[in-house]
Structure 1
Amino acid sequence: MVNLIWAFMAIVGIVYAMFNGTMEEVNKALFESADEAVTLSIGLISILVFWLGIMKIAEKAGILDILARLFRPVVTRLFPDIPEDHPAMGYILSNFTANIFGLGNAATPMGIKAMQQMKELSGSDTASRSMITFLALNTSSLTIIPTTVIAIRMQYDSAAPTEIVGTTIIATLISTLSAILIDRFYYYKSQRRK
């Protein structure tokens, strides 16, 4: 559906430019944007590779295991339907750890695997309580170190690219607590209706 919306917007813009006589400006903007996108992507790749390397070092050093053990009591309370030794719990913890470090690209495959494991666990085609909670937490932008945003700010020569870390932590706390409260509110509301 989103692809159709983007295609519709592009077609409307091109048709409008044709009738308005600004097709040359559209072509110029198109090629300049494509060039800038490639440059930005190459800059982001270097930062993401660096942080993924740091994550690999942290994994080999056992830091990720420590973080997983630290988060495990909280995660087991958030997902009471999932047994502690189930593979979904490991994927959830890995997803949260990657998201906390702002590595959304690295967190996505783990999130997909976690959802697949939770679907198998529920044995249903409808979203389970754990799947809804997981989606709400991922949507709430669970990030402490926004590496991608820092990389973009560095790419555009920001004077202080890391100054957003403090506000990111505050925003993450508020959005994550809100996601948990809203998730629990609607869960208990649906339970009372049964």
Structure 2
Amino acid sequence: MIHLIWAGLTCIGIVYALINGTMSDVNQAIFESAEEAIYIMVGLSSLLMFWLGMMKIAEGISALTFLSRLLRPFMVRLFPEIPKEHPALGYITSNFIANVFGLGHAATPLGLKAMQELKAQSTSDEPSRSMITFLVINTSSLTIIPTTVIALRSQFGSNSPTEIVLPTLIATTLSTTAAILIDRAFYYKRVRMNGR
């Protein structure tokens, strides 16, 4: 659906430019935007490679395993209906760690795999409690190092691209806490309504 909206907006813009006689401006904007997109992509790719390399090193020295063990009690409490050794819990934890380090692009396939495992565990067509909780936490996305934002700030000449770290940590901590509390409130409200 979204691709139809974008295609429609593009067509409307081109028709308006033709009627208005500003097609040359549209062409110039297209080429400038394409050049800027390549510039941003190259900068983000280098940062992405660096952090994925760091994740690989962390995996090699068992740092991710350590973090997974450290987070496991927290994850077990958040997702009580998932068995402790279920593969979904591992994917959820890995997704959470990737988001914490600002690697949303690396977190996405882990999140999809976690959802597949959770869906395989469920017999209903409706999303399970774990699926909803995971989606809420993944959307609020607790982040310690916002690597993409740091890269963009650096590319566009910020004097201090890392000064965003503390505000991001505060904002995402609050959003994740609020998301978990709201998720639990709705869950217990539904349990009370179904119990009547």
Moved more, 15-24 or 161-170: 15-24
Paired AA for residue 29 in structure 1: A
Residue aligning to 1:57: 57
Q: CA deviation at 1:112?
A: 0.3
> How many Å separate the matches in 1 of 2:34 and 2:193?
52
Q: CA deviation at 1:123?
A: 2.4
Q: CA deviation at 1:150?
A: 0.6
What SS does the aligned partner of 1:80 have? coil
* Number of residue equivalences: 194
How high is the sequence identity, in percent, across the aligned residues?
A: 63
Paired AA for residue 102 in structure 1: G
Residue aligning to 2:24: 24
TM-score by length of 1: 0.97
> How many Å separate the matches in 2 of 1:23 and 1:146?
38
Residue aligning to 2:142: 142
What SS does the aligned partner of 2:161 have? coil
Residue aligning to 1:187: 187
Q: Which runs of 4+ in 1 moved over 3 A?
A: none
Residue aligning to 2:87: 87
TM-score by length of 2: 0.96
2:180 paired with 1:176: no
What is the root-mean-square deviation of aligned Cα atoms in Å? Answer: 1.0
Q: CA deviation at 1:182?
A: 1.0
> How many Å separate the matches in 2 of 1:77 and 1:142?
17
What SS does the aligned partner of 2:124 have? coil
What SS does the aligned partner of 1:66 have? helix
Specify every segment of 5 or more residues in structure 1 that has no aligned partner in the other structure, as ranges. Answer: none
Residue aligning to 2:151: 151
Residue aligning to 1:37: 37
